[in-house]
A and B are shown apart, each in its own frame.
Chain A
Amino acid sequence: MSQEMEFKNIVAQYSKVAPEEMTNEMRFREDLGFSSLDFMSFLGELEDTFDIELEENEVMKIVTLGEALQLLENLQ
């Protein structure tokens, strides 16, 4: 499975939007229906799945799915 697909499958746990319908412009809270805590939990899962460490202050500025994907790529 590609990294992007794995990423979208994690997103899909918290959202009613199916992975194949997700676009980079979608906003976590508004379009994907994440609560603030869903978002935190999702970031924790990203850390565990992709073995990365996120800076809490930085990641809280993320709004869209594309921004999170970009961050993931930058950290690897």
Chain B
Amino acid sequence: MLVRNILEESVQKFGEVKAVKWLKKKEISERSYYEIMENAASVRKGLLAEGFEGKHIALIGTSSVEWIESYLGIITGCTTAVPLDAALPCEDLVDLINRSDCAALFLSPKHRPYLEVFLANCPGLQKVWMLQEEVEDVPEKVYSINELRNIGNNASKDAACPDAEDIATIIFTSGTTGKSKGVMLTQKNLASNVEAVKISAEPGTVMLSVLPIHHAFCLVMDWLKGFSQGATLCINDSLLHMVRNMSIFKPDIMLMVPMMIETIYKRLAASDPAIPKQILAEKVFGGKLHTIFTGGAHLDPYYIEYFAQYGIQILEGYGMSECSPVISNNTPENNKPGSIGKPLENVEVRFENGEILVRGTSVMKGYYQMPKETQETLTDGWLHTGDKGYMDEDGYLFINGRVKNLIILSNGENVSPEEIENKLALNPLVGEVIVTGEKNGLTARIYPEQAVVEAKALDAEAVKGLLQAFLDKYNQNQPTYRQITGLIVRKNPFIRSTTKKIKRQDALIDEPLA
């Protein structure tokens, strides 16, 4: 089975069921399975007619019906989708478009200000389609999504079904060396992950999609898995309105990262205890929510117990982009709070010096144009997850540490400290810097450049003020998960190893001045 087969089966089974709902000027708009797949097919045929067979196509934008239809159009044909993080700074997006060799781009109207920069700096881009029905005053090579669909609708030829080993999508993930890596997932990788997650739902089950759509967890488990079950996927238009949208769409099921659960918990815990739990659950969750699937970072089991009081079951799972993404998950039938569930049936697990290694049909083909990194991560089909863990006597997997130097935030984002340190080190006042991750954010530990401090005769307060102002400026241009929310000015340089490298594990130690 390929993704295209799964989706075609869904249209046959659930044609008239509402597939997607979203808010347009505060009113609910909707499209059926039939309509969504028809639009996806128009995109697919349009891409073929325009000569993009075998090419990589980028998508930049937050969740929208046009985004998902375009994504499905790309991956059901002989093209590769490269969804990029819409919150990244413009220059980072340019770098990723170029590094992933994208020949075309779907761009959300919100990112219109980036358009000229992309056209000027991404020489491989032949065409850009704006994710909107009409466009005005656009440069050459830029069209509306409707123009592509019309070409597709008038084309006589449809793209052939891709092969199981063709790359369906490239998803970027943080690299430990500071350079993000493009995870190549094949048609088989995606389809087998959708099939191996044994969760079933009635057609028309309402899901509210609140995760960033360029993430594998959202793409595969909200959208592809949801579509395979005939679910109605509702789009959360902004994280500002997550709670409000739960009241509007009244979801039955949601996928969340731990940070979302922690935020909702704070609202529940701060409520007047005199309000009955059922009433509060209706106010906060919309009244129908019964299951939250979570993954991406560790969740304290305390929240699982707490949410159960409101009639909501939290089921934790584990995965990574490299595994399309689910590796293991708890299900209503097999659930052990505190664990990350049992491995999927298409996954083999073994341990090497405590590190979890996985092998199976959902494991990626490799990192795009990074043979060295691929070789380091994949050995004879076994993927080194970078997580340490163990399996209990009942077959449930547990995580108890990290091997790789990545910071995992509770919103599921993986952050490479080196990537940020390299940027911060460009400031002349920053002598040495180490970025560490606390539960909810990042802290920069900086040893000021003494030559600058002396030359400008700065006292401690002035140094801190200047560094904070620099971090504030840096933060403004970064997605929230890469922002620095803590600053510690060190009295002493960092402790170094005999090879003169900063000892990261000792970064928190700052000996008092002699």
Contact = CB atoms under 8 A, between A and B. Distances in A.
A35 B263 contact: yes
A26 to B, nearest CB: 13
A40 interface: yes
A30 B410 CA distance: 16
A36 B483 contact: yes
Main secondary structure of the interface of B (DSSP, over half): helix
Interface string A9-52: 00011100000000000000110011111101101110110000
Interface residues of B, number: 27
A13 B270 contact: yes
B136 to A, nearest CB: 22
B150 interface: no
A33 to B, nearest CB: 8
A41 B411 CA distance: 14
A56 interface: yes
Contacts of A43: 240
Interface stretch (B127-135, B194-202, B241-249): B241-249
Q: What range describes how many residues of A lie at the interface?
A: 20 to 34
Main secondary structure of the interface of A (DSSP, over half): helix
A2 B384 CA distance: 56
A45 B487 CA distance: 29
A35 B240 contact: no
Given A36-B441, A36-B480, A43-B240, A13 B266 contact: yes
Contacts of A33: 440
Contact of B240 (A14, A29, A47): A47
Contacts of A34: 440
Given A35-B410, A36-B483, A63 B263 contact: no
Contacts of A61: 476
A71 interface: no
Contacts of B486: 30
A38 B266 contact: yes
B244 A48 contact: yes
B440 A44 contact: no
B423 interface: no
Contacts of A5: none
B485 A44 contact: no
A54 interface: yes
Contacts of B485: 29-30
Nearest to B262: A35
Contacts of A41: 239-240, 242-243, 263-264, 267
A66 to B, nearest CB: 15
Contacts of B165: none
Contacts of A40: 238-240, 242
Given A29-B485, A48-B244, A37 B239 contact: yes
28 contacts: A12-B270, A13-B266, A13-B270, A14-B263, A30-B485, A30-B486, A34-B440, A35-B262, A35-B411, A35-B441, A36-B259, A37-B239, A37-B262, A37-B263, A40-B238, A40-B240, A40-B242, A41-B242, A41-B264, A41-B267, A44-B240, A44-B242, A44-B244, A47-B241, A54-B240, A56-B238, A59-B240, A61-B476
Given A37-B260, A38-B266, A44-B240, 12 more contacts: A13-B266, A13-B270, A14-B263, A35-B410, A35-B440, A36-B481, A36-B483, A40-B240, A43-B240, A47-B241, A56-B240, A59-B240
Would you list the 6 A-B pairs with minimal beta carbon distance, nearest first?
A36-B480, A13-B270, A29-B485, A35-B440, A40-B239, A44-B240
